[in-house]
Every structure is written in structure tokens, then in C-alpha cells.
Structure 1
Amino acid sequence: MRPLQTPLQAWLFAGALLITLGAAKFAIAGEPARIDFNRDIRPILSDSCFACHGPGTQEAGLRLDSFEHTTEWAVVAGDPDSSEVLARVLSDDPDYQMPPPSANRPAVTPAGAEKLRQWIAEGAEYQLHWAYLPLKRAEPTAAETDTWSRNAIDRFILAKLATQDLRPSPEADRETLARRVYLDVTGLPPTTAQLDAFLADNRPDAYERLVDSLLESPRYAERMATWWFDLVRFSDTVGYHGDQDHRIAPYRDYVLKSFHENKPYDEFTVEQLAGDLLPNPDLWQRVATGYNRLLQTSHEGGIQDDEYRAKMMADRVRNVSEVWLAASMGCAECHDHKFDPISQRDFFRMGAFFADVDHYASFVPIAENTSPAMRPPEMLAWTLPVYEQLQKIDAQIAELEKQLSGKMPSPDKTPELMKKLTEMRHQRVDLEAKFTPTLVTEAVEPHEVRLLPRGDWMDKSGEVVTPATPAVLNGPASDENSRLTRLDLARWLVSGEENPVTPRVVVNRLWRLYYGSGFTKTLIDMGSQTEPPTYPELLDWLALELVESDWDLKHVIRLMVTSSVYRQDSAPRYELQDLDPQNRLLARQSRMRLEAEQLRDTALQVSGLLKHQFGGGFAYPYQPEGYYAQLAFPERDYQASQGDDQHRRGVYTHWQRQYLHPWLLAFDAPTREECTAQRPVSNTPSAALVLLNDPSFVEASRALAARALTEPAKPATDDARLRWAWREATGRQPHRDEVAALADLLAKHRDHYAAEPQAAEELLAVGVAPRPEGVATAELAAWTSVGRTLINLSETITRD
């Protein structure tokens, strides 16, 4: 509900309105701004015209998405009155007007019609869609009085705000800022010790030092891996039919390792799409090709080979186009795209890049003397814990061999070096036995790819096609003597100047992580149906910064989270309610609910239960009994992890596509059947019940209660313990009324559990974490209720 205005607020608002109206009158009286096709005209044509007169469909032979295709009578450059398009748009005759009422498309508004008139009068200049234009670096202008800006991001934002007579919000307090950047960069809130260390750091660059330390942490890699897994639909199960497990864990560890080591994004791309085609690929580069196996498939024995070959080719085209190009090519499987210049032929030519990784062309025997199985190739690979141990042992072996190959030591020194070397070599052999099978890509002879009319895999009448990128993108060309490969595709995707789309896509998605919304809201589609970016020059500036830094993701992220724009307070402002209700101009920071994995990770962190192991096997959090009852072929009995594995981060959770964990479902995590560039955010009673009753959150509440009863300095009163627990959960000191409310809750539940000892025992029996010694059952149960409340606070589950 909008707050009531005081007389002073009303007077100030009226004054601001008069100033704004005066500026508007001045603009109207002066020279009108020149029309920009991508900003002003393309959205009108896309909404109202392209469905019938776009790249996919040309009713009456008319196409309006480019001047070279538009007939002369439709758009007469320089002469709006002779242009049939404008006459049709302005007509109120249902038999003549465009779009016709039967088309179910929005009519062009009077303001839109006036823009069309001005555009035609100015020469009807067309532009390639903004996402496909070459990257162009425009340097932001800095006002002489600008003491606020820290980098180019700030100068771009500040210049735009000035055109709206707006100023940025003040900087957030240090506690809020620290919690924000911890959650954004690592996916975890700071511990109280970490928060206190930052608050005590009075150096001028304390915040920048904090950001650098977070970017170097393995926790950053775990947070980024979750982002990437949504895009590439990483899962531990096949998806179709029985949704059985498939072996892919080392690919997950490859992604973790790549983000931790800041592997350049271009190398990261090439290795996943075509690591097997690199000269002498190492083990990790081969593991990376597991990307090509992440799609849905089936282990059912009666499937049709041609059908699944078509399914999987289409799946790969959809994912590659959405992950790297933000181009929704999926509809072009059956027909030319109605809104973007992507043809059905483009779709199948893109699919032909993957004709050499076809699932059913890669037969590997299950065992000797058995027929080949319809399954993709696997190899034995490392997980990160084994890899780290191998590195240490290899370093020790190398040092011992160096000592033995140098000046010969005494014979006795020689009981000792040879014995140690033998032990190290035996340890290495033992570690090699712990290698894990993982799905990979091994190129085979490419099978024939035909254009399938209407996407029908049984229709063999379509033309045979060879690999190529969509024509509008001017990708790599083949000659008569060579065939383009996945390696050509991968290198073109991250070529920068030749393909400006990918760096824009990456920057747009990173911007959403740290500011709440992308430069353009639709993160999975940069086609003609999406909105133009709010800050196009800044988008290009950052995209070029990414390319020119050799695709250094940490460099771009550091620019984003050290800017003054990022550091702003997120409190709503009255003057922005109508002007910028979705905070697209960024005159303040955004508030965002934590993602599903972050919610559980936060609960484990504040409770002290979180166990860090970088990489390794999957974790199985507590789950309702019988939840997998409908899974067959084979039947499965879910076994929750025991010990430390139960308390690992969400990025390691076993991902069952058909039966995603209820906690993940309640908080909008995707099943990962398709690319997900942005998760929805819902607000449901089920989500609140998960925070209150899911065993992971109940156990975390009990552990937080145990900490409150045992960790604060003695003597600890209820008041001191409540204040301690509040700060552990939220990262700030509580207000007096907040402590009073918790105290009332604590007293009520002390009485309840003292009278109901069985209920207290049942509550405390949840989870595998040990109970503290010497604490009364009713007392621990009452404090567990306080913990459940703190973990369920909106402030706890929200960034800012």
C-alpha cells in the first residue's frame, strides 16, 4: 500500500512535478530526438506485425523486419503519407486496419503510430537487432563534481539518473553491505567472526580486500556452479522413463575447479563443447565434454533409435542456443521462427554440429563377450578430493626422485628414500582405484542429418544439411573440402568481435545476480520479442571489458560488486514508486529472496552444522519417506546421507529430475529438463512450512539453539542469548521490540515443553547432529522453537 503523504511531501512532490513538466515542455518545444529503430520501432513491429509479416511468416508477401525485404509500397522512405503500413495502422476499418482484430495481436497505440511516422519521415533506417550489432565501447562522461563514482559502471548509471532528476541512494551500512556481498559472491552469509573482522578493518580499501578474498574462496566457485548448472541442465538422472541415475559427478567437479581457478570463459566454453577435439586433451578437458551428455535420455530397451537421435539433437540445439546466444531456437525445429530471422534450416544445420556425438553411434561393451549396449562412452576420472590428494603425492614423488637422482646420499639415507618412494607409489595406485566413471564425448563418424519437415523424425524427405550457424549471425563458413566441427562452433561462440552476442549474454546474466534484474529482463531470449536494454552502452562496455580481459569473469564481477551502484542502500524511495517501480534505473539496490540452495546453506551456516568439502560425491538431504514410491525400473529406496555428508552445501545435492527434492521445489529450483536462465520467485504457504518443518531446517534450528545455550560468554542471560542468536541469523543487532517478541515466544514454549516432555523429545529427535550434554530437554526444545522462528524470518531468507 502506498504511504500517505504529509503536507510537506505533497508540496515537494508537486514542486518536482512542475520541474519535470517544465523540462518536458522544453523538450517538446525544441528539436525532437531522432528515432532509433531498435529502441523505438522494433518493439512496435515485433509486438504487432512480425507474427504475420516477420522472418517466419510473410502474409501477402510482406516482410517488415528489414528494409531489403520490405516492399516499396509498404514503407516509402521519407514519405509517411505514401506508406501503406502507416495508413493501415491508423485505419479504424476492421477490413483494412493492421493488425486485423482476428490476428489477436496488440494494436499500435497513437504514440507508436507517431513514432512510425517520424521514423519513415527520417528515412526509415533499419538496424540489425541490437544483440547482433558489433560491440561498441562508449566511454561515460563524468561530471566535474562527481565524487560518487568509483568506476565506469557508476558514471553510466549516474548520467542516466541525472536525465530523470534523480540521485543515487546513500551507501548501505557496513553490516548490510558485508552480508550482501557474502551472499552474492559465495552464496553464504558471513559468520559473526567474519562480520566482526570486516567491521574492525578500518583500512580505506577494506571492502575491496573483502571482495578479493571472497572471489578467491572455493565458496565462490560453489555459488557460480549452481548458476551454471541451471543453464546447462545438470542433473544426476536421465529424466525420461525410469529416471535412473547416470554417472556424471566428475563433470560437476570440472565446473567447480574451473570457476575456482578462474578459467577464462572462452576456454571453459571450448572444453565443454569440443574438448575431445583439442590436440592431446588432458583428463579434465575430456571430463568437460560430459556437457554433451547432460540432456535427457532413456535407458528403456524398446526406444526408436531415429526418434531419440532427433530428440537429443534438438535438445542440444536448444541448450547451446539458449546458454551462449540467448536465442530461443526451439520453435524452429518445426517451422521458421515467427519473430526472429532463424529458419528451420538454421535449426538443423546447427544440429549437424553434434552429428558426431550421437548417443546411439557410440557403442561400448558392458563386459567381455556381451553385445554392445546402447549407452554413451564413459571414462575413469578424478573427483576433486582425489585429484588434490594425487597432486600432493605426485609432488612428493617428484621431490624424492629428485633427491635420488642428484648427489648420492649415504647408503642409509638412500632406509629410507627408496622406502618412502615405494610407499608413495603404492598410495598413488590406491588412489587411482578411486577413479570415478563419468560420461564423456568421443567423436564418431558424423551421421546424416536431414531437415525434418514439421520436426517429424519419420519424414525422410527433407534435404541433407551440413553444420552451420544461423545465417543472420555470420558464423564460420566451410568449403567444399572440409566440414565444420564442434570445435569451430565453440571457438566462434566465444570469438568476441565475430560474435558479439555471447559476451552480452554473459554480462546480462551476471548483472542480474548482483542487481536483481538484467539489463534486459528476459535472460534466456535476446530476440526481437525482448525489451531493449535499459543501459545499452554500459552493457556493451562490460561485454568488451569481458572480451578484452581474456574472458576474465572474476574481473567483471569485481567491477560490478565494488561499484558505488552496488553499495547503495536498498530501502524503497517514495519518488521511485511510480517512476521506476521495478528498480530498472538502479537509483537504489534491489532486495532478493535467497535461492533454494542458499536458504538451506544459510540455515546450516548459522546453526554451525555446515561442512565444507570442495567437490566429491553427491549428498542426499533428509526427504519424506516413500517420496520415490512411484519410481520404477528399478524401484528405489532413498537413503539420506549420514555424518558430514548430510550437512554439505546444496550444490552437491542429488538432483532427481522427475522427483526433485521437496525443499528445492518449494523454493522454485528447476527440474533441469531445459535451460533455466532465471528462476521464478513464488510466495506460497508450502514454502513457509518447509522452513518450519523440513528436517534439515528443524535440525538446524536445534543446532542453533544448542549454540545459543552453550557459546555466548558467561554469565549469559536470556536477553543476551536472544540477541546473540538474532545476530547469528540476520547479521545485525536486534531492536528492543524484536527481543521482547522472542522472549515472549521462549517463555510460552518453555511452559509448553515442560508440560509435554514427549513432544519435546520428538522435536529434538529430528536429525543426526548430536545434542549438547547437560541441557534440559524442555529448555533445548523451547530454544529450538526460537531457532525455527529466526530461520523463518523474512530478513534471514532475503538478501538485504
Structure 2
Amino acid sequence: MAPRLRFTISKSPTPSCIITKARTRSTMSSTPCHRLEFSIRNCWRTVRRTAGRAAATALIAAGVLELTRVPAYAASAAANGPLDQERAHWAFRFPPEVNPPIVKNKRWARTAIDKFILGKLEKLGLQPAPSADKRTLVRRATFDLLGLPPTPEEVDSFLRDASPDAFARVVERLLKSAHYGERWGRHWLDVARYADNKGYVFFEEKTYPWAWTYRDYVVRAFNEDKPFDRFVLEQLAADQLVLQGDCRTLAALGFLTVGDHFSNNTHDILDDRIDVVSRGLLGLTVGCARCHDHKFDPISQADYYALYGVFASCTEPMVPPLVEAPALKEAYEGFELELIAREHKLREYVETKHRAIVQGARTRIADYLMAVYAQRNQPATENFMLIADVGDLNPTVISRWRATLERAGAMSSIWAPWHQFAALAQTNFAELAPEVHRAVMKSDRINPRVAAALSSAPLQSMKGLAERYAALLSSIDKRWQEALSNPAVATAPPRQLPDPAEEELRGVLYGPDAAPDLPAQMDWGFLSLLPDRASQGEFQKLLKDLEQWLMHGPEAPARAMVLNDLPMAYEPRIFQRGNPNRPGASVPRRFLEVLNPRCFSRGGGRLELAQAIVDPKNPLTARVLVNRVWLHHFGAGLVTTPSDFGLRGEPPSHPELLDWLAREFIRGGWSVKSLHRLIMNSAVYQQACVAPDEKSQSVDAENRLLSRMNRRRHDFETQRDALLAVGGTLDLKAGGPPVALSTPRRTLYTFINRLDVPPVMATFDFPSPSASCPQRARTMVAPQALYLMNNDFVADCAAAVLRRGDMATLKSRAEKVDRLYALLFSRRPTELDLRWAGDFLGSSPDGKAWQHYVHALLLANEFVFVD
């Protein structure tokens, strides 16, 4: 029986909320072993949230709360604390050095991979399937690595090669093909939620004009066998690396920037970047900690906002850099002059408007305070349509003032009086105010300058209080401007006011958290700061003029969708319940605490984050990538939740094999092609799809133990490309801007609209590009068969097969059928196949019989699936 977890209350202390909470968890007495870590952690956090870590540890140490029958990896919380328990989860431990098990069938197990698989089979009395025939192997390998069918000539060449390393040479040939990067690049683009447009946005250009530069970068990286650690570094921080003159590498940052724009909601954009990095590279659902600590994994809200700070510290430039030098230098110089002129107009407009908005925010303090007071019982928002009766006040500034007051709270030395007076009822404010006033004057926690401003005549209304705060802050601002303009300090301007009380008040007006100190934005985000339609229209026109020239001007070159660090890194705060209008405690920019809590100190921290992710000591990155490669070779990963290696993810079917592969991957220089060689030259990969006996089917119906190879249906791209390839109409041109689905190029190059994925692609389980896709769904539904039966595209492909030069010259029916089977199925037709062909072709006297026959063959499972 699997180990069980039991929580017990072993003493009876004074009743309290702590013990009540512990008792509510004490019923969890039968948790399966593979969920054990979650139960321990969940109980711990329940107690810890109520009393704090120290008190909870003390409860366990005192024997009030007891954990019984805990496996060795879950050490005592009193000794190690909760994070040590959570680090004991298999995915958070560095892969140990493991040796392949000793197996009986040494002849079959020719590689370490085979021994790990066979060892488990032999323990259960199972046998592996026999090897697949050579035709099946070359077809399987070609589809796996290229996403295209092998040609009859390639199949025949392999059949003639009787050498022991014949298949290894086939693998080498395929890995050298330029089409390899197209196939495996598409796998990565699923993870990277690649699309050619931004999703729903308001006024701006909806397409990404240069998203394709990222797609081409990915294809090139796989073809070049770029080490995966370098691949990750470039995708997160190419702008901070030495690129040795190859500006095309800057396109790697598209990994972060090709995501959904979420109607230009900055917080959602940053959340999307955190998600694609954490799930795509680490196999962790960090996004679940946006509003609260992760419910299952050891990922806190502080972890989430530490990463939020990294990505909030960078911005997309209005004019991205070129990916390569322009072909016509003289023509480009004219283009660039116009570009500079348009950018200057936009920048001048933004700076002018920004100065006016900030100045208004600093001079109309009383109006903004009263606007916040009037909305004190309404949800916080920056939406123009949801803020009523604010006149020409800026909604964003109102929101920032509200956040300032909420963040300060009732204990603030500056804003405590405001909160106390604001709590009074409007109807009898004048009667109650004197008592509050006396209490404020007696307090020794109030800022002396605030106390002095409030010490005059009693207040009659909140408006009067707002005006006193405004007068005080205006005087502080005046003093600060005088200090800055003092000729004596022109060479070394002051950084603060000498009086501590005045400096505290200056912080209300200046700094990243100051309500009036709005950041200037040279993008569509600036539109939210312009509440009047005239200003909005002018800004839209200037920005659209610049965008259109960048994309469509004469000699407009391709550009990289990069990120650049801001001059000053963003200092993140935890948003309470995920609400950006309720910033809480500050957190440093750093990596996940459970992996490496070291803080980032260089710029915004993107490069340091990338280095932490590919650190060989990181237990996750290599495992996650190895599992993804295994998934695409076998149809299922060793871990069947490829983007969730956390406590709620499925444990690996072969943990020692996963660890061995991860270590080999790192030892081999993070080479993905070397990983292909390891896997594909194994006997496990070369098995037939037929179950070796009935016992294997009953014991392991899902084939998790890999006693046979899995039969897999082609994804949409492979089916479409194969149809074009066998018809001889596939245009193999590589790279460049996206094309329409009707263009006979590889499907990889089709324009992907994240708002409207072509229905046929969705029918065949093409993933939504709105989020990182760990693994495509595998459905078998009627519309798939109906498409293949009735769509004109498939019928045209059938006709194209017959127009091929090698088909048109054949005279006899037997020769044509033989060639068709070689093209479509990589084999010779059987006697039964020939008899069926004769029956079909003989029963249809019209000239379209052959086209209908080919069309029928294209519907066969043998063409749609790979064994």
C-alpha cells in the first residue's frame, strides 16, 4: 500500500484559530504518496498564514501538531522549515548521477535509454515489441525530424544499406536538412505562443509586422544546433549579450514580445511574459501566484512580483533595431531621414503633453484628493467611462492618488489625519471634526509640517482638509524647485531636502510611487493619459504616421521586436489580491526562492534571470526541455504535464531516465541534436507499434512503460505539407514574412491571427496562440474526416499527384499503383491493395477515376498517421 499522510492534534491547548485551522486539515489522512508533498505544504501554510512561520514551527516543536508516517524526503518542519520540505519534491532536486539498471535481455538493450525502459518492463514480466521494419523506421524518422514524407528514393537508399549504422546515418542526414529547423521550430513556437498579430487592441496597428523575424530566428537556431542554454539567454536578454555583429539574434526577444497585447493592459502583458517564461522554460505555473500565494507549489506572491519587477523594468522601443543592414544604403538614408522627422514630432508632442499632465497633477492636488474622496466607496479603476463627475481630471492620476492614500494607510505620518477625518459622516462633519482634530494634534507620530498645517482654525469639511494638504505640498514643491535652481549647486544638484519632515513630504510629489510623477510613454499606453478627444486624436495620428512609415515606407527594412531596459529599474511591490491599485510590500527583483533566492542587481535583471534559468545547477530547465523532446518523439512525455513539474503535475513514468537524460543533455553542451541522436538510436524508439503480447496491453494499456512505439496522428502542418509534397507542389522557400494559408508553402509560414485562427487549423487541434501551449490536444472528430473527404484543397492535391512527372510517364495500372504507394506510404502495394485498386478503377469508367482513387488513398490512416 502507498505511504499515507496523517495530521494529528496531539495536545489540547487553549482553543484558538490556529488549532481550529489545524483540525480542519487533520482529516487528510489518506493522501496518495505522489500527492504527499502538496498535503504537507497545504497544512503548513494554513497554520503559518494564521500564526506566522515561527509560531507554526513552535507548535510542531511543542508537539501540538504532529506529522506521522512521513517519507524520508519530507524532513521535520521543526528542523528544516517548509521550503526545505517543498524543495524535497522531485522536480526541485538536482538530477542525481544515476546508472542504468542491470537487465536480462542485454542483446536488446543496446543503449542506456533501453536499459532504463527494459528494467521497468522486466520487473513487471513484460517484453518489448520487436523492431519496426526499415520502411517504417525511415518514414517515422523523416516525419519526426522534418515533418515531411520521405521520397521513394530516400526509402530505397536506406533499404539497400545493410550496414549496422545505416539508421544512424539516416538520422544524421535528416538533422543536417534545412527542413529540420522548420519542423522543430514549430514545436517551440507552440510553447512561445507565436502569432503574427497582437490580439484585440483599440486604435493601433493590429499586426506584428516583424513577428516573422522571431520565427525565422527559431528555425535558424534549431538548424544551427544552437546550445539550448544560449538559446534561452538570447530569447530573454539578447540586447545585453555580445552578438559578434549578427543583429539577427536580436529577433530572439520575440519570445517575450510576440504575446497578446490584452487591449494594452500592461499588467496582463507582463503576466503573459511571466507565464511563458515560467511554464515554457521551467515547467512551473508561476502565474497562479498573481493574486495570492500559489495554492499548491512553493511559489509565493513575492516570487511572482519579483519576476514582475524584472519585466516591468524594460520597454519596447518605438523604433526597433534592424535585423540586418539595408540592401540599398542610399535609398535607406532617405527612409531614415523621414523616420527621424516623424519620431521627433511624436516625441516632442508626448514630452509637451506629459509635462502639462504632471504639472497639473502637482498643482491641482486638492481637486484630485476630493475626487478620490468622492469615489472612496467605488472600485478602483482607470477606465474613463467608469469615473463620473471628475471634470477634466486625469483618471490615471486619480487612480495613483487613490493608491497613494490606500498604501499609506491610517498609520501614515502624512496621511493619518486624512483617513481619520474621511471616516466622519458628511452630515455632522463640523460637529465631530474638533474631537478628531484634538486627537491629531496630540499624536507624536504626525509629520511636524502636516501638524503645523492643520493647527489653525478647525476644519468644516473634507474640502477644507484637501486644500490644506494642497497648500502644504505646493509649498514643499516650491522649496524643492528653489533648491534645484540655486546656482551654488548647479554642478551637483541636491537629491533631497535637508529637513527630514519636508523630504518625507517631497516624496509624495516625486519618485516612482508618487501620484503626480507619471512615467512618459512613447507608445499607445500614453493614450490613457489623454482624457480629451482632441489630444487623443492628435496623438493617434502622430503615432500611426510613424508606425505606417516603419512598416510600409519605401525601402522599409525588417526589424527585431526587442526589449530595452529602462534607465531606472522598476522597484516592484506586491499587488494586494493582484490589484495594481493596491500596492503592498516591496520585494526585490530576484529568481524563485525555492530555486535560487539571490537578488538581481544588474539593470532590470533580465540577463541575470536568464542565467539563473540555464544555470546547470537549476534542477528544472534541462528536465523540462528533455521531456519536451521526448514528447514529440513518442507522443507522450516522461512527464505527461510538460509545462507543470510542480506538486500538482504528474510524476515521471521513468524518473531515473529523465534525470539521466537531463544530465547527459547538460554534459553534451545543451545540444538538442545530440539529444535526438541519443533517443532515435535506441531500441525503444525503433520498436514496432504492435503490442508484443496481450499481457502488455492489459498491464499497460496507455503504453506509459513503452513496451511498444505509439502510433501518432500527424498534426495539421504535417498533414498539409505532406499533401503538397506528394503532389509535387510544395514551395520549399524558407523564411520571410507570413503568407496566406492558400499559398503552397510550408504551413509554418502561414499568417497566424490569434483572434481568428483559421477554422481548418483549429479543427485539427492547432493550439490557441493566446497562451503557451505545452502539448497539442489529440482529438478524432468527424469534421477532420469530412475536411479530407470534401475539401477542394485535398482534391486538388490528389489531382497534382497524378500530374507529377514521374507519374505521367507511367503507362500500366500496376506501375502507377506501385508508384502511388511508394509516394504516399513508402512501401510496395500488397496483392490485396492491387485487387482493391483494380476493383475501384475498373468500376468507374469516367476519366476522374484515378483522381478519386488517389483521393481515397490520401484519406487512409496510413497517410494520416505515422507508426
Please report the TM-score for the alignment, with normalisation by the length of structure 2: 0.65
How many angstroms does 1:714 deviate by?
Answer: 4.2
Among 172, 177, 198, the alignment partner of 1:212 is 172
CA distance in structure 1 between the aligned counterparts of 2:57 and 2:645, rounded to whole angstroms: 21
Given residue 701 of structure 2, which amino acid in structure 1 is its aligned partner? P
Is residue 315 from structure 1 mapped to residue 275 from structure 2 by the alignment?
no
Query: SS at 1:259's partner residue?
Result: helix
Percentage of identical aligned residues: 31
In the other structure, the counterpart of 1:15 is: none
Q: Which deviates the most, 262-271 or 699-708?
A: 699-708
In the other structure, the counterpart of 1:343 is: 300
Write out aligned runs for 1:265-414 (5 A). Answer: 265-279=228-242, 282=245, 283-297=247-261, 308-359=265-316, 367-368=342-343, 370-372=345-347, 374=523
In the other structure, the counterpart of 2:478 is: none
Asked if the contact 2:197/2:754 (under 8 Å) is kept, the reply is yes
CA distance in structure 2 between the aligned counterparts of 1:745 and 1:58, rounded to whole angstroms: 74
Given residue 727 of structure 1, which amino acid in structure 2 is its aligned partner? A
Is residue 655 from structure 1 mapped to residue 752 from structure 2 by the alignment?
yes
Query: SS at 2:284's partner residue?
Result: coil
How many angstroms does 1:741 deviate by?
Answer: 3.2
Given residue 463 of structure 1, which amino acid in structure 2 is its aligned partner? A
How many angstroms does 1:723 deviate by?
Answer: 3.2
How many angstroms does 1:33 deviate by?
Answer: 11
In the other structure, the counterpart of 1:183 is: 143
Residues 34/205 of structure 1: CA separation in 2 closer, same or farther (3 Å cut)? farther
In the other structure, the counterpart of 1:797 is: 864
How many angstroms does 1:663 deviate by?
Answer: 2.2
Given residue 648 of structure 2, which amino acid in structure 1 is its aligned partner? Q
How many angstroms does 1:259 deviate by?
Answer: 0.7
Is residue 230 from structure 1 mapped to residue 190 from structure 2 by the alignment?
yes
How many angstroms does 1:475 deviate by?
Answer: 4.4
Query: SS at 2:143's partner residue?
Result: helix
Asked if the contact 2:316/2:562 (under 8 Å) is kept, the reply is no
In the other structure, the counterpart of 1:493 is: 613
CA distance in structure 2 between the aligned counterparts of 1:536 and 1:323, rounded to whole angstroms: 20
Q: Deviations over 1:261-299 (max 9, x none)?
A: 11101111101100101246640232222222111116x
In the other structure, the counterpart of 1:667 is: 764
CA distance in structure 1 between the aligned counterparts of 2:58 and 2:197, rounded to whole angstroms: 48
Among 814, 818, 833, the alignment partner of 1:738 is 833
Write out aligned runs for 1:527-676 (5 A). Answer: 527-572=646-691, 573-622=693-742, 646-676=743-773
Is residue 514 from structure 1 mapped to residue 646 from structure 2 by the alignment?
no
Asked if the contact 1:52/1:59 (under 8 Å) is kept, the reply is no
Aligned-residue CA RMSD in angstroms?
A: 3.4
Highest Rg: 1 or 2? 2
In the other structure, the counterpart of 1:786 is: 853
CA distance in structure 1 between the aligned counterparts of 2:235 and 2:32, rounded to whole angstroms: 38
In the other structure, the counterpart of 1:252 is: 215
Given residue 53 of structure 1, which amino acid in structure 2 is its aligned partner? C
Residues 551/73 of structure 1: CA separation in 2 closer, same or farther (3 Å cut)? same
Given residue 494 of structure 1, which amino acid in structure 2 is its aligned partner? V
Query: SS at 1:522's partner residue?
Result: coil
In the other structure, the counterpart of 2:457 is: none
Residues 514/75 of structure 1: CA separation in 2 closer, same or farther (3 Å cut)? farther
CA distance in structure 2 between the aligned counterparts of 1:191 and 1:280, rounded to whole angstroms: 39
Asked if the contact 2:801/2:807 (under 8 Å) is kept, the reply is no
Residues 223/475 of structure 1: CA separation in 2 closer, same or farther (3 Å cut)? farther
Residues 198/365 of structure 1: CA separation in 2 closer, same or farther (3 Å cut)? same
CA distance in structure 1 between the aligned counterparts of 2:249 and 2:58, rounded to whole angstroms: 44
Is residue 692 from structure 1 mapped to residue 763 from structure 2 by the alignment?
no
Residues 57/454 of structure 1: CA separation in 2 closer, same or farther (3 Å cut)? farther
How many angstroms does 1:224 deviate by?
Answer: 0.8
Residues 280/613 of structure 1: CA separation in 2 closer, same or farther (3 Å cut)? closer
Asked if the contact 2:794/2:855 (under 8 Å) is kept, the reply is yes
Residues 549/490 of structure 1: CA separation in 2 closer, same or farther (3 Å cut)? same
CA distance in structure 1 between the aligned counterparts of 2:772 and 2:561, rounded to whole angstroms: 20
- Where relative contact order (Cα < 8 A, 6+ residues apart) is larger, the structure is 2
Asked if the contact 1:601/1:649 (under 8 Å) is kept, the reply is yes
How many residues of Structure 1 are paired with residues of Structure 2 in the alignment?
A: 608
CA distance in structure 2 between the aligned counterparts of 1:447 and 1:796, rounded to whole angstroms: 54
Asked if the contact 2:313/2:604 (under 8 Å) is kept, the reply is no
Asked if the contact 2:102/2:115 (under 8 Å) is kept, the reply is yes
How many angstroms does 1:60 deviate by?
Answer: 7.0
Given residue 552 of structure 1, which amino acid in structure 2 is its aligned partner? S
Residues 685/738 of structure 1: CA separation in 2 closer, same or farther (3 Å cut)? same
How many angstroms does 1:611 deviate by?
Answer: 1.8
Given residue 34 of structure 2, which amino acid in structure 1 is its aligned partner? P
Is residue 729 from structure 1 mapped to residue 824 from structure 2 by the alignment?
yes
Asked if the contact 1:249/1:438 (under 8 Å) is kept, the reply is no
Asked if the contact 1:356/1:444 (under 8 Å) is kept, the reply is yes
Q: Deviations over 1:768-787 (max 9, x none)?
A: xxxxxxxxxxx2x3322222
Asked if the contact 2:590/2:605 (under 8 Å) is kept, the reply is no
How many angstroms does 1:70 deviate by?
Answer: 5.8
Given residue 777 of structure 2, which amino acid in structure 1 is its aligned partner? P
Given residue 302 of structure 2, which amino acid in structure 1 is its aligned partner? R
How many angstroms does 1:62 deviate by?
Answer: 11
Residues 338/144 of structure 1: CA separation in 2 closer, same or farther (3 Å cut)? closer
Asked if the contact 1:600/1:696 (under 8 Å) is kept, the reply is no
Given residue 435 of structure 1, which amino acid in structure 2 is its aligned partner? P
Q: Deviations over 1:480-534 (max 9, x none)?
A: xx5561000101111112x110000001111111122111111110010122211
How many angstroms does 1:51 deviate by?
Answer: 8.9
In the other structure, the counterpart of 2:444 is: none
Query: SS at 1:437's partner residue?
Result: coil
In the other structure, the counterpart of 1:108 is: none
CA distance in structure 2 between the aligned counterparts of 1:335 and 1:145, rounded to whole angstroms: 52
Residues 682/232 of structure 1: CA separation in 2 closer, same or farther (3 Å cut)? same
Among 573, 577, 584, the alignment partner of 1:450 is 573
In the other structure, the counterpart of 1:406 is: none
Asked if the contact 1:56/1:343 (under 8 Å) is kept, the reply is no
Asked if the contact 1:57/1:338 (under 8 Å) is kept, the reply is no
Q: Which deviates the most, 273-282 or 358-367?
A: 358-367
How many angstroms does 1:698 deviate by?
Answer: 2.3
Query: Could you list the runs of 5+ residues in structure 1 that have no partner in the other structure?
Result: 1-27, 84-114, 377-431, 623-645, 755-778
CA distance in structure 2 between the aligned counterparts of 1:150 and 1:541, rounded to whole angstroms: 16
Query: Could you list the runs of 5+ residues in structure 2 that have no partner in the other structure?
Result: 6-30, 321-338, 348-521, 526-553
Q: Deviations over 1:29-52 (max 9, x none)?
A: xxx9999xxxx96524367x4695
CA distance in structure 2 between the aligned counterparts of 1:169 and 1:222, rounded to whole angstroms: 31
CA distance in structure 1 between the aligned counterparts of 2:154 and 2:100, rounded to whole angstroms: 36
Is residue 525 from structure 1 mapped to residue 592 from structure 2 by the alignment?
no
In the other structure, the counterpart of 1:635 is: none
CA distance in structure 2 between the aligned counterparts of 1:58 and 1:555, rounded to whole angstroms: 46
CA distance in structure 1 between the aligned counterparts of 2:714 and 2:59, rounded to whole angstroms: 47
Q: Deviations over 1:568-601 (max 9, x none)?
A: 1111342122211111111111111111111101
Q: Deviations over 1:200-227 (max 9, x none)?
A: 1122211110001111111111111001
Residues 786/54 of structure 1: CA separation in 2 closer, same or farther (3 Å cut)? farther
CA distance in structure 2 between the aligned counterparts of 1:197 and 1:442, rounded to whole angstroms: 51
Asked if the contact 2:103/2:118 (under 8 Å) is kept, the reply is no
Given residue 731 of structure 2, which amino acid in structure 1 is its aligned partner? K
